[in-house]
Amino acid sequence: MNWLEFEQKAMDNGYKSVCGVDEAGRGPLAGPVCAAAVILPENTVIEEVNDSKKLTEKKRELLFDVIKASALSYSIAYASVEEIEELNILNATMLAMKRAVEALEIKPDFVMIDGNRVPKLGIDCESIVKGDAKSMSIACASILAKVSRDRLLYDYAKQYPQYGFDKHKGYGTKLHIEMIKKYGPCPYHRMSFLTKILK
């Protein structure tokens, strides 16, 4: 497959600085949603990069530093549990993506977003469904977002070991749901996601 198809198309249309954006953590019951934005040098394909969900945790960790070293510019941003509760998860995700793009040291003139919606950026954008499996820039962003969020959940596991955050990263696994029922929620839980569990 051509990992640079979408980047090349943007360049062919006259854009100079093309950015890929993806998020991690829309579905979990706990923790923030994380977004990353990546601008790669033109024609850059990083070996072994793929959609973060298709890689092992060890491989993602190794690629994390490679991507940061290879990128012309990258940024990682969050929307907090409080913002998820206030805005809803979709709007909080858009906010995290907007923050990631706006924090880039190099300002992009074209932004490719994984999924079917784009945040309001005031920059030309394209949404690409399953973009993390089609675009090198988006795949790199997916790895940065996933690793950054996972590291945060390891920190939560030290503060609240009873929930097993290091095992499930906040997702609604059988273990996690059992622990919420046993101990009740902690400050990192998204209360609006727990309504059925805490009935």
What pLDDT score does 23 carry?
98
pLDDT beyond 90 at 52:
no
Look up residue 85 and give its amino acid: E
Asked, for residue 155, whether it belongs to a domain, the answer is yes
Asked, for residue 189, whether it belongs to a domain, the answer is yes
Asked, for residue 102, whether it belongs to a domain, the answer is yes
Asked, for residue 139, whether it belongs to a domain, the answer is yes
What pLDDT score does 1 carry?
82
Q: Cβ neighbours of residue 64 under 8 Å, at least 6 residues apart? A: 143, 144, 147
Domain range for 56 is 5-193
CATH number at residue 121: 3.30.420.10
Contact (CB, 8 A) for 111 and 93: no
Q: Tell me how many domains the chain contains.
A: 1
pLDDT beyond 90 at 128:
yes
Asked, for residue 182, whether it belongs to a domain, the answer is yes
Asked, for residue 199, whether it belongs to a domain, the answer is no
Asked, for residue 36, whether it belongs to a domain, the answer is yes
State the chain's mean pLDDT as an integer: 97
Closest CA to 97 of 174, 86, 83: 83
pLDDT beyond 90 at 75:
yes
Asked, for residue 198, whether it belongs to a domain, the answer is no
**Stated pTM of the model:** 0.97
